Structure 1
Amino acid sequence: MIPPLARQILTAGPYRLTPLADGDARDLLTLFGDPAVAEFMDIDPLVNFAEAKDIVAWAREMAAGNRGLRWAIRREGVSRLIGTVGFNTLELDRGRRGEIAYDLAQDQWGQGVMSEILPYVMAFGYGTLGLHRLEAMVTVGNIRSCKLLERHGFVLEGKLRDHAFWKGRFWDQLIYGRLAD
């Protein structure tokens, strides 16, 4: 039996990961309002506070049902949310797998933030959640994300043509996987 996801907090080096909460909506609006951050995501850049609150509600609902978990990322001792990370989907019974997802404020890119955080999230998935397989879906063209995953032992398993539809068109997705050691 896994612990309730809605209360899981991680310390990842100098970063604190806390489940998304109502107080994060303002920072989420800033984060996801940046077109560069939203470029490869299945959302248009956010334009209002209600959209940010919807993301918090989605994350809470996932965590309450133990179907997923999305953490806010903050530097220890700093209130500003600089990104999110977690599991967009969890299959805890039949597949023992989880889909990792993440995003980061543009002013944090290239500083090794996700490289430092990802091993903690992976360890939580394999250890606390008992997952056997981690997956990541990457929109074609998101080279930074591909490189991050490959540095952490994920293997490109294939390309899913026209796999997703958002922003008025179909998108190819790359599927990366990593099995427990």
Structure 2
Amino acid sequence: MITDPPQVHGFELRALEESDAPGLLDLFSDPEVCAFMDIEPLQTEFEALDIIDWAQAQAAQGVGVRWGVRRPGAPRLIGTVGFNRIERSRGRWGEIAYDLARDQWGRGVMSAILPAILARGFKDWELLRLEAMVTAGNTRSCALLRRMGFRQEGVLARRGFWKGQAWDQLVFARLAD
């Protein structure tokens, strides 16, 4: 099943559900966490529930999945990770995405989790290509993707428009071995 999370030593991953709304609000109310995202910092649990509804709809349609990230036994949501899109009908690719609470930055969290996410895409779902779209200026995310074997393929100039301005999107990809 698409919502079954990969096993990652040192972390618990599970599909987002309504009970995650307070944790998601805490995560996405931080302006620095949202700085390169296409959303404004959240202000209410209703906004968090909208994100959870989106994630659940993606999973129900089999076109994406987003897992909440926690440390084992800890109730606090420290991030999310997953596939914003999975294409298996006219291609075999997926778009990965992730975010992390600021106090977890630089602690190797996503470096530990992403190999399992990549394995889910390449081995379990037999995808041929994984992509990540990164907002220009997000140097931390670019560095992480390069460490994970992704290559920057190009720039989609002014591809996004949010927070009152146009944003370039950097296209990163990794092909199946």
TM-score relative to the length of structure 1: 0.96
Is 1:157 the counterpart of 2:158? The answer is no
Structure 2 counterpart of 1:143? 139
Is 1:104 the counterpart of 2:97? The answer is no
Task: Pick the aligned partner of 1:33 from 13, 29, 33.
Answer: 29
CA distance in 2, matches of 1:50, 1:133: 34
CA distance in 2, matches of 1:116, 1:93: 30
Task: Pick the aligned partner of 2:67 from 68, 71, 88.
Answer: 71
Task: Pick the aligned partner of 2:78 from 71, 78, 82.
Answer: 82
Aligned residue pair count: 177
Which consecutive aligned stretches of 4+ in structure 1 deviate over 6 angstroms post-superposition?
none
CA distance in 2, matches of 1:49, 1:165: 24
Structure 1: give runs of 5+ residues left out of the alignment: none
Residues 110-162 of structure 1, C-alpha deviations (whole Å, 9 max, x = no match): 00000000000000011121111000000000000000000010000001100
CA distance in 2, matches of 1:128, 1:75: 24
What is the Cα deviation at residue 85 of structure 1?
0.3
Is 1:118 the counterpart of 2:99? The answer is no
Structure 1 counterpart of 2:58? 62
Amino acid at match of 2:162: W
Task: Pick the aligned partner of 2:15 from 16, 19, 25.
Answer: 19
Identity %: 55
What is the Cα deviation at residue 66 of structure 1?
0.4
Residues 69-128 of structure 1, C-alpha deviations (whole Å, 9 max, x = no match): 000001111111100000001111221100000000000000000000000000001112
Structure 2 counterpart of 1:49? 45
What is the Cα deviation at residue 10 of structure 1?
2.4
Residues 16-68 of structure 1, C-alpha deviations (whole Å, 9 max, x = no match): 11000111110000000000000000000000110000010000000000010
CA distance in 2, matches of 1:123, 1:10: 9
CA distance in 2, matches of 1:10, 1:136: 19
What is the Cα deviation at residue 12 of structure 1?
0.8
Two-structure CA RMSD over aligned residues (Å): 0.7
